[in-house]
Amino acid sequence: MATVTVELRNVGETQAAMGWAGGHTIVVDRPEGKAGGMGLGFNGAQLLALSLGGCFCNDLRYAAEEMGVTVDTIAVSVALELEGKPLLATAARLEVRCRMLDGSDPQPVIERAKTICMVANSLRSGVPVGIEMVA
């Protein structure tokens, strides 16, 4: 079993948070004027949609390598539907455009990426989430 750990801390003089994993960082905030947000970074819904789309982009590359072909270009749009109070993600739809370097049909690569996409598979199956306070 592998574990991925990320860290987040508040950013001084703002109500935003800075998150990092290794040498990569990202700013998380609410829209300007919402609960002290200043619009300095992505909100949770945007991060969820980005993680879904980003994971799928990576898995297109993994699938292509596994199949011995090369992806030329990728364009993925993610629509994340939100509703309720508290707000929940209720559905996600990815539109995928993919062109292979050799001009072949990208559908087999897209189908393989669907089967290995960690974020999509995790969301579909439901992931237990524990939240606990530490001193």
DSSP states along 89-122: EEEEEEEEEEEETT---SHHHHHHHHHH-HHHHH
pLDDT, one tens digit per residue, over 76-90 is 999 999 999 999 999
| Residue 15 within any structural domain of the chain | yes
Q: Domain of 5?
A: 1-42
Residue 58 and residue 37 share a domain = no
Tell me what pLDDT residue 27 has. Answer: 97
| Residue 13 within any structural domain of the chain | yes
Residue 47 and residue 37 share a domain = no
Residue 35 and residue 64 share a domain = no
| Residue 133 within any structural domain of the chain | no
**CATH of residue 62:** 3.30.300.20
List the beta bridge partners of residue 78: 94
| Residue 134 within any structural domain of the chain | no
Q: How confident is the model at residue 43 (pLDDT cuts 50, 70, 90)?
A: very high
Tell me what pLDDT residue 62 has. Answer: 98
pTM for the full predicted model: 0.93
